[in-house]
Structure 1
């Protein structure tokens, strides 16, 4: 409503001014030319009031809805009004510097590939172009070995044995789901990555797929090794990700209990972006398991725990906490039983019958049309659809729902 009032008022004012100029041209050509300048227009309205008064009154009426609309806008969105009045919308948009320096040359499916996002987390290397839930173009490489520091991988088409799984996908115009192709061998891959502070991997990337895939890429890449972001050497708590929330909660628990012996268990499912998140957190503190309610709120300075007024954990407290840690168990002690691998006998029927057993686990879903989606299982909605959630770099998280009859294959990717 406020926008309509503002636009209506501006339209009346503009109509009145145009009418006034037309009246000035009707009086004489000299007055008409002069009225194109605001000071002369005012002089003309005063000198020829009987002729110009109708146009002036029409413009004056336009100020009524304009003022009412601006008042309504100020009452519920003062920041937007401030931006309009300050003419900030006229200034050119400042492009943010790229988070990652990625310089790849080549093509994916015959099209230029310029990824803006890259990460290597939980053994999966991903390069994405586009900010939506489904990337315009994406390469995902699942590495068989665990990452520990520097990484070097060399694969040739004739190599035997288990090789990294390569998944390429692209989103065609007017398609809701991307096309995807998966390869386990027959390609060339060279990776040489070195860790770079605080949470990046930098190095060479070279990938050539068989000719029918029209995919060949080579150059330098920079990848995130987790979903934390840093500013001036400190964690950026304004970034929306589960890793950010875990960092904020872990720091809060350390200061609250004055100990660094805090082991935070996996968080419950979280929908981001959000302004507040209410969680029931499970953590092991000083060797004891505890369940704690935590309310997180996001302000101008980022995420923080509501009611957090605990002081910073000093060096003396840290030393005391280290000495208070329970001693190691004797070698002869019986270790805890290894948890059951839920990937065994996993199926869509088992998922539907007991969804809580697989909550927040990574899955890969293939539809009957050949499209693929990979992310964390976020439950079954009221319509019986399988909800898959995926982290988005710089954009929080996004979810996608698939009906069971659309799914031709579903895989559980972690125990």
Structure 2
């Protein structure tokens, strides 16, 4: 609807200008050629108002739907309006190359699919096309446990037992939410990925879904295994992602308390990109739980850092002589209780009754209209609307809210 208003307004304005130029040529060749320049066009309209008034009125009418469309775009999708005003769309062709080596050929839902973003994080393989909150086209494969080494997976349509769940989604121009389809079985999948330092995996990828989904993809695939980026062999702290913030905070705490025994709890949901952040961080330092309010700032030269950080680098661990084999005794293995799986007995009502228990967990929301939205739970606002936040390839985040009456089902995706 927004696009139709903007395009319709522009069409009326252009039609009015073309009509005005044609009227100027009908008056005289001098006025005609002169009206190709904007100042002369205005002068012609003023000097020959009786002749030009209808064309001017038509062009003026085009500003009404144009202004309405731009206002609606600013209210619904401010990031798109900012990209248009900032002329970032002019660089789309130059940004067509991905920093990953992705050489895949195929289609998704019958349309050509050329993903530029790929990651395998928390056991979920995601291939995305597009930089917006919702990708234009996206393929997701929920493998399960995050692999520590090489990953090889072969699935045939007739295989029995547990299989990875495949999901495809696409965003139509006239829709606000993407359409999604889940395929639990009946597909062919070959995945052979090998680790590539420091945080990538690369190898062969082949997928064929049942014919009704019109989706096939095959070729060479490279993915990120976390949301850190590296430059010259070191973590690039200028990159906006929660993993970057966690790396900076962990390094700060290790130097501040002069110990490497720092276990950082998951960070709260943050809105990136940003220049300053205030976070309440929970960490276990030398076995003791600490709650620390921290302020972080970002500069182009040094990237993210904790403010007032003047602590020296942590000393390298001293080499210790290894005891003889017969003198060494195996360390006792502590029986640690398994963490509670919050997916058990999870429901929409439990989420509304105790939203703090599920803060920042990954979940998928199904609406009564058949659309889906996936991201991390960001809480419930004062009006009782469910807030979902999703990172945009690590470079930013966007949020979406759902009225409880619009939600058909909520699925928790991690323990």
TM-score range (shorter-chain normalised) is 0.7 to 0.9
SS in 2 for 1:319: coil
Cα distance in structure 2, aligned partners of 1:279 and 1:372: 30
SS in 1 for 2:247: helix
CA displacement, residues 250-287 of structure 1 (integer Å, 9 cap, x when unaligned): 11111112221211111122222221111121112122
TM-score (normalised: structure 1): 0.73
Partner of residue 298, structure 1: 298
SS in 1 for 2:405: helix
Alpha carbons of structure 1 residues 413 and 172: separation in structure 2 relative to 1, 3 Å: same
SS in 2 for 1:269: coil
CA displacement, residues 321-372 of structure 1 (integer Å, 9 cap, x when unaligned): 9x9xxxx997386x44333322222111111111111111111111112111
Preserved CA contact (<8 Å) 2:376 2:389: yes
Partner of residue 212, structure 1: 212
Structure 2 unmatched ranges of 5 or more: 1-86, 323-328
1:184-223 matches, cutoff 5 A = 184-223=184-223
Alpha carbons of structure 1 residues 290 and 145: separation in structure 2 relative to 1, 3 Å: closer
SS in 2 for 1:221: strand
Partner of residue 370, structure 2: 370
Q: Which moved more, 1:398-407 or 1:285-294?
A: 285-294
Report whether the alignment pairs 1:353 with 2:353: yes
TM-score (normalised: structure 2): 0.73
Cα distance in structure 1, aligned partners of 2:133 and 2:333: 50
Partner of residue 318, structure 2: 319
Preserved CA contact (<8 Å) 1:388 1:399: yes
Structure 1 unmatched ranges of 5 or more: 1-88
Partner of residue 95, structure 1: 94
Alpha carbons of structure 1 residues 395 and 253: separation in structure 2 relative to 1, 3 Å: same
CA displacement, residues 83-130 of structure 1 (integer Å, 9 cap, x when unaligned): xxxxxx9xx969355211211111111100011100000100000000
Cα distance in structure 2, aligned partners of 1:131 and 1:332: 46
Cα distance in structure 1, aligned partners of 2:263 and 2:394: 27
Q: What is the Cα deviation at residue 407 of structure 1?
A: 1.1
SS in 2 for 1:167: strand
Q: Which moved more, 1:275-284 or 1:189-198?
A: 275-284
Preserved CA contact (<8 Å) 2:124 2:144: no
Preserved CA contact (<8 Å) 1:193 1:203: yes
Partner of residue 405, structure 2: 405
Cα distance in structure 2, aligned partners of 1:148 and 1:203: 15
Preserved CA contact (<8 Å) 1:144 1:163: no
- Give me the CA root mean square deviation: 2.3
Partner of residue 276, structure 1: 276
